[in-house]
Amino acid sequence: MNPVTTVSGTAYPWGAKNIDTDVIIPAHWLKTITRAGLGRGAFETVRAQPGNIFDDPRYAGAPILIAGDNFGCGSSREHAAWALADMGIHAVIAPSFSDIFSGNAFKNGIVPVVLPQEAIDRLVEVAKDQPITVDLETMTVTTPFQDRFSFELDPFRRECLMNGLDEIGLTLERADAIGGYEKQLAAGRPWVEGRTRLAASQG
């Protein structure tokens, strides 16, 4: 997972509420065994509508999505976070998120930023023609008009995002401690590795 300290640039000024994971990535895309290419299916039903925001060239490649309340509700499919990441989104700003989606987003390097509805309304207006910046160092969302909105994030999740640590990375950081524990366990409980049985068979 790549480290995330700042996400800055164009933002999709969407603001839609109660967007469930089936809207983010329809079920027929779940048959894939790879994350690559899921961005093509992201918001498929929305993109079927003429003039939709996701096919608007003004927002092409935007790394930020501004959404409404209860974003990511519905099923627990991790494909929703995979699809967003594959289309280049690194931060989603909304008044609230489904707990499962928020966890999946974090594990895939996407920053879930919770702000009050008034801030969302302002950001939707600004993002129509100006960039937005999400800064994990200062825990703020800012605009060129000196708007500054503070947000909170679990300290552990913030550290993981800023250091690019997913579950595998966290495990590898503790490789020496894990190896030491396994040696100690093997010495005190030789039967765990079958060494007692092996010694008996060789004797």
Contact 20, 68 (CB under 8 A): no
Mind listing the pLDDT tens digit for each residue in 149-161?
999 999 999 999 9
**52 pLDDT above the threshold of 70:** yes
Question: What are the residues whose beta carbons fall under 8 Å from the beta carbon of 182, sequence distance 6 or more?
Answer: none
Question: What are the residues whose beta carbons fall under 8 Å from the beta carbon of 85, sequence distance 6 or more?
Answer: 35, 39, 108, 109, 110
Could you give the CA distance from residue 115 to residue 11 in angstroms, rounded to a whole number? 15
Quick one: pLDDT band at residue 189, thresholds 50, 70, 90?
Answer: confident
The lowest-confidence range among 54-68, 139-153, 175-189 is 175-189
Domains present along the chain, CATH in parentheses: 6-165 (3.20.19.10), 166-203 (no CATH)
Question: What are the residues whose beta carbons fall under 8 Å from the beta carbon of 127, sequence distance 6 or more?
Answer: 10, 11, 12, 13, 64, 66
State pTM to two decimals: 0.84
